[in-house]
Amino acid sequence: MKKASLLALFLVFTLSLFAQRNSNREYWNTWQYKPIKGMTEKFEAAAAAKTKKYNASPENLIVTYKVSTGDNAGTYERIMPYQTPASYDTDKSAELDYWKANVGKYCTPVGGQQIWERMAFADVNIKEGASPSKYLMKTIYVVKPGHNGHFGRFIQRLGKVQGDRSPDVSSITLRLQSGGNRNMYVRYVGFNKHEQAPKEDDLSWEDVYNEMFGWNTWEADIEQFNNSLEMWGRQSEKLRLVEALLPTP
């Protein structure tokens, strides 16, 4: 039994390592920071200067959001998209030293860097080069071992319905590769205003889902989706773009 457990652990580590070295895959980095009490303005100013200095190019871009709901309200989330395996071979010691000397003294990191793989099959209304959304609804999912297929199927199909019902809303789904539970996913739903013009028809999301994928598939898929999640495996919060920290000249 012990040997079997060690073998399983080795296989998980090997697959994780191989995944991050696959040149055909795209990765996103995230960091979270909490400003020291009374230092929010200084933190924003210092982080803005660092972002403009190091993170204005497409290959090293960072955008920053601030959590506005839930227990993490007031936390800043910095997101670096569109990374490749080669990105992790780049020497970034000067950038890290700059952050430590000029920004780190005003904040406390919440956890550490996390590396996510983009699940492109679940993209909805994503346009490369588009301006970042003003708001994000962020949902973290923790999936039970062996249930990733049920989770992925519903997320992909739900995205197709979202694209039909909410053409002004985008979403992207990422799976954690390093920095936590590898059965953790995050889905960011981006939008620029809360009120949306209703569709001319009166179809519900369930109606459209069943039209697209077959009679009663909504009920069957959502049951399998819910069963795929750990009991505590779904948490949501809203984020707002911090425009002052955009990497613009």
Domain range annotation of the chain = 25-245
**pLDDT higher than 90, residue 61:** yes
25-245 CATH, one of 3.90.1530.10, 3.40.640.10, 3.30.70.100, 1.10.10.10: 3.30.70.100
Single pTM value for the model: 0.89
Residues 6+ apart with CB under 8 A from 142: 181, 183, 184, 185, 229, 230, 232, 233, 234
pLDDT at 249 > cutoff 90: no
In contact, 27 and 83? CB cutoff 8 Å: yes
Residue 1 has pLDDT above 50, yes or no: no
DSSP assignment string, 26-54: -EEEEEEEEEPTT-HHHHHHHHHHHHHHH
Centroid of chain to Cα 204: 27
Q: Is the pLDDT of residue 17 over 90?
A: no
User: Taking residues 63-70, what's their average pLDDT?
Assistant: 97
